[in-house]
Amino acid sequence: MFDHSRLAEILAAYKQNFVSRLTGKEDEIFKWKAVKCFQDHWNVNVNGEDFSGMLERSLSETSVLLRSANKFPEKWIVKLAKQAPEEVRGMFIALFDENKDVFERIEAFKHRSDFLLKKDGKGESSHYQTENAITTYLWLRYPDKYYIYQFTVAHEVAKRLKADTDGGFKQGAYTENLRNFLKLYDELNAAVKEDTELVRLLESQLTDACYPDPQLKTLTVDVGYYIGKRKDAAAQAGAQGEGDDNDVDDNETADQRTSDKSPSVTPPSYDVYTKKDFLNEVYMTEERFNTLAAVLQNKKNIILQGAPGVGKTFAAWRLAWSMIGKKDKNRVAFVQFHQNYSYEDFMMGYKPVEDGFELRYGVFYRFCQEAAKRPDEDFFFIIDEINRGNMSKIFGELLMLIEKDYRGEEITLAYTGLPFSVPENLYIIGMMNTADRSLAMIDYALRRRFSFFDLEPGFESDGFLKYKSALNNDTLNELISKVEDLNREITRDKSLGKGFCIGHSYFCGQTDCTEEWLRSIVDYDIIPMLREYWFDEPSKLQLWENNLQGLFQR
């Protein structure tokens, strides 16, 4: 539901300039002409010999809807239809198949475009087939059912009409945004139909060259553009401060993360991050870092394994940034595996919605698609607790594709029938806690596809020694010395080993070292862990409790 009184104010202003808007300088009548042109030229059986010619004629009146200074969806799809007519014919047949879910059809059209760009793009950087372009095709084909979706316009319409859209329009929420858009515009369409004055104005302007628009869907599209793009619409609605065109992000793909991004948009800047920055923050020697980076570069997949507190997650993010060269969080994805994590969460699967089920794409699938569009840049996918997941269940057919030798190789996915590959510029960093006894047995498939790198306590690293010196606290120095003795004891223990040592990160991240803080580490982090380690050796446990707690009882 939205504020209908606000819409009434906006429509009053819209009607005042309606005739000049349609047939004057703005010439918005082209929308109705575009639909008529498509309907006149589109052969519904689409099986004629000259498919590319039919497509070009059908789209010839779309004007700025599919053509603008920086976006060329019409040009690209027509060009591709001339190069691969059967491929593009099949894409449109599938898109216009009303027996299938519309959201699945839109996604399939996008992903097929991704595939053809790689295959037949001949160096082009974008196919421009975003939700905006694809819903334009649907609107042209079924003008009594669909509207043109544009993220920024829909977002502004919802904001200016104070619409309740189940959480609004959010970046990256592809299907949810489209679903909210259709609900919003259906309600807007119902309100437009009730405005008899507006309906008569439209009828007076439509000529034989225009689609008659019996369901007023195209009129609803134009009203939406007016609300979303015009300063005067917001002003008439009393929306001071939120109606300026500057509030509308002209990057129409904030919702889509596709290559339909205007080149004029200034990319975000990120802090430079180098090997030196890594060594300052992650307490590791330069030699170890060089080995770690080389192993990941060679294998593509690595697992950082180590005891609690060695900073595996901290190191994983900074390893990615150091190899990227800057703190670009858009090129790093992070997930955590658990026993119930599945292929449907990771790759794709059907999820329940109001009226049934719909295909949703998982985080790894989307991240691979993003990496494939930018082959000259490195992307990093971080998996915490990787050994807690069922690898076969989560990865499925990807277990082969993530191997270095199979990067870029395509297979057909069972869910969509579309080709998919893991790009060569994507690196996977897993993390594994070696002190978890329940996970001692590691899936052989995991071992074969990943290199394993031990992260060890960094108490003797230059970085930690500088950090400890800056804190300048005698109690801390004594405690660290005792923890190093404890680690030697743990390493010698045949039932434990170095994978159970106490890590340095328990003592990091402070600018002021207090006795209260140190005591909390001993009482609530280290000793509870020792109780698990030596549950069957009470005398050894008591000895180390006395050694550690004795520092604070003098």
- 535 with 527: CB under 8 angstroms? no
Confidence bin at 234 (pLDDT 50/70/90): very low
pLDDT digits (tens, 9 = 90+) for 424-472: 999 999 998 876 644 444 567 677 888 999 888 878 877 888 888 888 8
Average pLDDT, the chain: 83
Q: Indicate the pairing of strand 301-306 with strand 426-433.
A: parallel
The pairs formed by 95-101 with CB atoms below 8 angstroms and a separation of 24 or more are 95/134, 95/137, 95/138, 96/138, 96/141, 96/142, 98/142, 101/358, 101/359
What domains are there in the chain, each with its CATH number? 4-247 (no CATH), 275-455 (3.40.50.300), 462-552 (no CATH)
Amino acid at position 158, single letter: A
In the prediction, which pLDDT does 554 show? 60
> What is the full DSSP assignment across 105-141?
HHHHHHHHHHHHHHHH-TT-S-----HHHHHHHHHHH
Distance of CA 512 to CAs 202, 468, 473, 525, 531, Å? 72, 11, 9, 19, 29
Lowest mean pLDDT among 114-123, 348-357, 409-418, 464-473: 114-123
- HSE on the CB side for 447, CA within 13 Å? 5
Per-residue pLDDT, 69 = 53
Alpha carbon 205 to chain centroid, angstroms:
44
> Mind listing the pLDDT tens digit for each residue in 279-322?
888 888 888 999 999 999 999 999 998 877 788 889 999 999 99
Question: Backbone phi, then psi, for 420, in 5-degree steps?
Answer: -150, 145
pLDDT at 261: 36
Is the separation of the CB atoms in 398 and 410 below 8 Å?
Answer: no
CA distance linking residue 322 with residue 276, whole number of Å: 9
> CB count, 10 Å around CB of 291?
13
The answer to whether the beta carbons of residues 108 and 418 sit under 8 Å apart is yes
Local confidence band at 325 (pLDDT 50, 70, 90 cut-offs): very high
350-366: string of b/e by CB count within 10 Å (b at 16+)? eeeeeeeebbbbbebbb
CA 489 from centroid of its chain's CA atoms: 46
CB-CB contact of 518 with 475 (8 Å):
yes
Quick one: residue 497, left, alpha or beta (phi over 0 = left, psi -120 to 50 = alpha)?
Answer: left
Residue 149 burial (10 A CB sphere; 0-12, 13-18, 19+)? buried
Predicted confidence band of residue 338 (pLDDT cuts 50, 70, 90): confident
Nearest alpha carbon to residue 457 among 491, 420, 412, 419: 491
Pick from 276, 250, 246, 417: which is nearest to 348 by CA? 417
Phi first, then psi: give them for residue 105, nearest 5 degrees: -65, -40
The answer to whether residues 237 and 3 touch, using CB atoms and an 8 Å cutoff, is: no
pLDDT at 171: 63
Per-residue pLDDT averaged across 216-229, rounded?
92
Q: How far apart are CA 251 and CA 258, in angstroms?
A: 11
Q: Which of 103, 98, 99, 90 is closest to 51 using CA atoms?
A: 90
H/E stretch holding 313 reads helix 312-324
Rg (CA), the chain: 30
- Residue among 545, 547, 473, 480 nearest 515 (CA): 473
Lookup: tokens for 445: 């498939």
Contact 455, 305 (CB under 8 A): yes
Q: What are the beta bridge partners of residue 553? A: none
Q: Tell me the two tokens of residue 497.
A: 């080993």
Partners of residue 381 on adjacent β-strands? 333, 428
- How do 419-420 and 411-412 pair as beta strands? antiparallel
The tens digit of pLDDT for each residue in 525-547 reads 899 989 988 888 888 889 988 88
HEC string for 272-323: ECCHHHHHHHCCCCHHHHHHHHHHHHHHCEEEEEECCCCCHHHHHHHHHHHH
Q: Residue 435's pLDDT is what?
A: 65
| Amino acid letter, 463 | G
Rounded Cα distance, 382 and 265, in Å: 29
377-410, pLDDT tens digit by residue? Answer: 999 999 998 888 888 888 888 888 999 989 988 8
Instruction: Please state the pTM of the whole predicted model.
Output: 0.55
Phi/psi for 85 (5° steps) reads -60, -40
Q: How far is CA 232 from CA 19, 236, 248, in A?
A: 16, 6, 14
The SS3 of residue 409 is coil
pLDDT-derived band at 128 (thresholds 50, 70, 90) equals: confident
Q: What angle do CA 273, 276, 280 make, to 5 degrees?
A: 100
Q: Name the more confident of 259 and 167.
A: 167
Instruction: Extract the tokens encoding 439.
Output: 């996970």
Distance CA(58)–CA(42), nearest Å, equals 6
pLDDT the model gives residue 239? 37
Which residue did the predictor score with more confidence, 81 or 392?
A: 81
Q: How many CA atoms lie within 13 A of 403 on its CB side?
A: 12
503: Cα separation from own chain's centroid = 33
- Helix/strand/coil (H/E/C) assignment for every residue in 137-197: HHHHHCCCCCCCCCHHHHHHHHHHCCCCCCCCCCCCCHHHHHHHHHHHHHHHHHHHHHCHH
- Give the tokens for residue 386: 């990787």
228: left (phi over 0), alpha (psi -120 to 50) or beta: alpha
